[in-house]
Amino acid sequence: MRRAFLAILRRDLTLAARAGGGGELALVFFLTLVVLVPFALGPDLNLLSRIGPAILWLGALLSVLIGLDRLFQADEEDGSLELMRASPLPLEAAVLAKGLAHWLTTGLPLALATPLLGLLVALPVEGVLPLVATLAVGTPALSFIGAAGAAVAASLRRGGLIVPVLVAPLTIPVLIFGVSAANAALGGTVPFRTPFLILAGLSLASVTVGTLAAAAALRSAE
């Protein structure tokens, strides 16, 4: 059982490192989104620094969601999902392994890249670490809520934007508490801890619910 779990995790990490796509594209897309914002808002650093956490959170959220449609679709197309269905490993554990690999190659790099992107929006130094922390804690929720959407779309021939459309509304709570925790670190009436703990709770709940829902969707795909 553990061997099967680790095999799926290792395979997805190897594929991400070897074939490209996924994670690194999400990073480039993240950078692109952050670059686009000042063109719309103007280069006023005071304004950008005030809304910096919001820009970075929105950018990270969209970057995670855009690439999610391939999470199960690729495995469904080439038949390797059949192997996971035939495994003694419960499908839930397979989903957990794939979601974990997705987070390690997408969400975590995005969180780690935010200090650099923070420079672009003149994020105050004291806001950098809290922002990285909120993204590191919040992105698993995005990966796993997304996994449920991706599982529903796995057998669709024309997936495309359907996954972000399905999933984006479900990520609103994560966005709210992620941004408010990051903002709380920059001052304000709410202490950082409160929204941050709620964010962590949301994340844990999403990992559980997302895993169960994705496995159920994959099982009933036909």
Q: What is the DSSP letter of 189?
A: S
Give the footprint of other proteins on residues 77-106 (CB under 8 A).
Answer: 77-80, 82-89
Q: Find the part of the chain contacting other proteins (CB under 8 A) among 18-26, 136-144, 151-159, 180-188.
A: 18-26
Cα–Cα distance for residue pair 87/175, rounded to 1 Å: 36
Cα–Cα distance for residue pair 107/55, rounded to 1 Å: 16
Residue 150 · residue 68 · CB < 8 Å: yes
160 belongs to the binding site for other proteins (CB under 8 A): no
Residue 92 · residue 215 · CB < 8 Å: yes
Least distance between other proteins and beta carbon 213 (Å): 20
DSSP character string of 67-92: GGGHHHHHHHHHTHHHHHHTSSS-HH
Here the tokens at position 189 are 């009436």
Q: Find the part of the chain contacting other proteins (CB under 8 A) among 5-13, 137-145, 159-167, 175-183.
A: 5-13
Q: Find the part of the chain contacting other proteins (CB under 8 A) among 34-42, 61-69, 179-187, 201-209.
A: 34-42
Footprint on this chain of other proteins (rule: CB under 8 A): 3-4, 6-8, 11, 14-15, 18-21, 24-25, 28, 31-32, 35, 38-39, 42-45, 77-80, 82-89, 119-120, 122, 222
